[in-house]
Structure 1
Amino acid sequence: MFSEMWPASCALHHGLKAVYAPHAEYIDRRWPTKYLEATFNAGRNGASGGARTAVFGDPEHNFRGTTWYYNAGFPEVLWHRWLGYRFHNAGGEEYEVSGVGERGGGEGRMCLPAMLLHPVKRVELVVEGLRD
């Protein structure tokens, strides 16, 4: 399921009738507002989809520089660096510890990888001692 479908789908699954989950959008370049609008709402009468000229066809590459799209490039870079991995020849442990890199750093890991914590049940304790 695409990311933008999750909030509404989960709400419907749990019996809610409608949901709107606003989210901030980051675009990695400075586009004039009119050009941005013409690019993302290029369908008939300014619609965002449905026409041959809509952004969900050939011009879909314009989403690569945004933060909210299934095929965007920016979130992937952010996620890997947030977890401390070296990605696209930047970031990683050296950057976190010593501050070597494009903008300094040296503040340590921003986030730890996800963990699943689950209680262990019905465990027989091992008692060390001599065997009978």
Structure 2
Amino acid sequence: MMHKETYRMRHSMFPEMIHPSIALHHGLKAVYAPHPMYFDRVWPLDFLQRTFNRPQKPHESPFGGGEHNLLGSSFYYNAGFSGALWRRWWGYRENNEGGTKDEVGGTGRMCLRSTLFHPVKKERGPTE
């Protein structure tokens, strides 16, 4: 159904919306399976809880005025971290980290757990 909507019917929408929207429009059940989000920094757990799960004021929500908190995450439309993590996983040098020299002389290729990346919008390829 998604293929028909996007390819044949030329309908499009943001990637976060397409799955539940197609299910809604076609009378299907939609199931949400949470996926892990990773950050480019270590967050103290109590701060993470306050920031993402229980903001004190509505404008502090991560989907409002607190949006800057998501910029270092692996799944956010405007985050540079998902692209950087993706390129590092491919073995490219990114932000002066990783690359062939580090892999050969260090612990080898980066190994990641299951991760859902936001679609990477710019791919530069190797810079070494």
The alignment partner of 1:65 has SS state of coil
- Does residue 1:21 correspond to 2:23, yes or no? no
Structure 2, gaps ≥5 residues long: 1-12, 113-128
Aligned counterparts of 1:4 and 1:63: Cα–Cα separation in 2? 15
- Amino acid in the other structure paired with 1:73: G
Decide which structure has the larger Cα Rg and report it.
1
- Distance in 2 (CA, whole Å) between partners of 1:38 and 1:107 is 35
Residue type of the alignment partner of 1:23: H
Task: Give the C-alpha shift of residue 63 in structure 1.
Answer: 1.0
CA displacement at 1:67 relative to structure 2: 2.3
CA 2–38 in structure 1, closer or farther in 2 if over 3 Å, else same = farther
Q: What is the TM-score of this pair, normalised by structure 1?
A: 0.54
- TM-score normalized with structure 2 length: 0.56
Corresponding residue SS for 2:63 = coil
Match for 2:90 among 49, 71, 83? 83
| Maintained 8 Å contact 2:59/2:66 | no
* Distance across 1 between alignment mates of 2:44 and 2:109: 33
- Percent identity of equivalent pairs: 49
Equivalenced residue count is 97
Give yes or no for the alignment of 1:30 onto 2:43: yes
- Gap runs ≥5 in structure 1: 45-50, 111-132
Report the AA paired with residue 105 of structure 1.
T
CA contact (8 A) 2:89 2:109 kept: no
Structure 2 residue matching 1:58: 3-state secondary structure: coil
**Counterparts of 1:36 and 1:64, CA distance in 2:** 14
